[in-house]
Amino acid sequence: MNIELILFGAFALLTLLSAGTVIFARSPINSAMALVSTFFFMAGIYVLLWAHTVAVMQVLVYAGAIMVLFLFVIMLLNLGESSTRGKPTVARVAGGTATVGLFVVLAIVLLKLPAEPATLSTGAQASFGTIATMGQVIFTQWLFPFEAVSLLLLVAMVGAVVVAKSRI
C-alpha cells in the first residue's frame, strides 16, 4: 500500500474523531482544544495534497490566532461545563434529520466521482499553491468575501464583549 494513502486515512480518521469531540465535549474549553487538533490534522491533509502554504496558514491563522480568540471569548463569557443533556426538541430532531440527509447526499456524490484524479498542466503545477498566486487570487477574485469574513469576525468579537459586559 502507498504510504500517502495510509497517512491520508490516518489524518482523515483523526480529523473526524477530533471533530466529533468538538461536538460532543461537555466543556467548551475541551471542545476548543479538540478544534485545535482538528485544525492540525487538516493541515496534515493539506501537506499530503502538496498545498504547503495552505497547511502553514491553517496552523498559523486557525490553530493560532482564531483559537486564541475563541478561548478568549469562552473565558470572557465564563462558560462552564454543561451538566445536563437537553431534551429532544423539534429543532434538534429536524437538525439531526437534515444532517443524516446531507451525509446521504454526500455519499451519493462521492460514489459518482471518477476514480482517476484530475491532473494539472505543467504550467499550472509550477504556480499552484504559491504565495504569489494565492495573494493574486485572494485580492482580485475573492476580495469581497475575504473582507466580509474579516468584518464578520470583528462583529463577532464586539458582540461577545457586549454580551459579557451586560452580564457584569
**Widest CA span of the chain, in angstroms?**
60
Q: Is the dihedral of CA 63, 51, 149, 26 positive or negative?
A: negative
Among 20, 13, 74, 67, CA closest to 39: 67
Backbone region of residue 42 per phi and psi (left: phi > 0; alpha: psi in -120 to 50; beta: other values): alpha
pLDDT at residue number 167: 65
pTM score: 0.64
> Residue 126 has which C-alpha cell?
509550477
Task: Give pLDDT tens digits along the chain (168 positions).
Answer: 689 899 999 999 999 999 999 988 888 888 889 999 999 999 999 999 888 888 888 898 888 888 888 887 777 777 666 555 667 788 888 988 999 999 999 999 989 988 787 777 777 777 777 788 888 888 899 999 989 999 998 898 888 788 777 765
pLDDT at residue number 46: 92
Residue 46 CB neighbour total at 10 angstroms: 19
Q: Which residues of 99-112 are buried (b: 16+ CB within 10 A; e: fewer)?
A: eeeeeeeeeeeeee
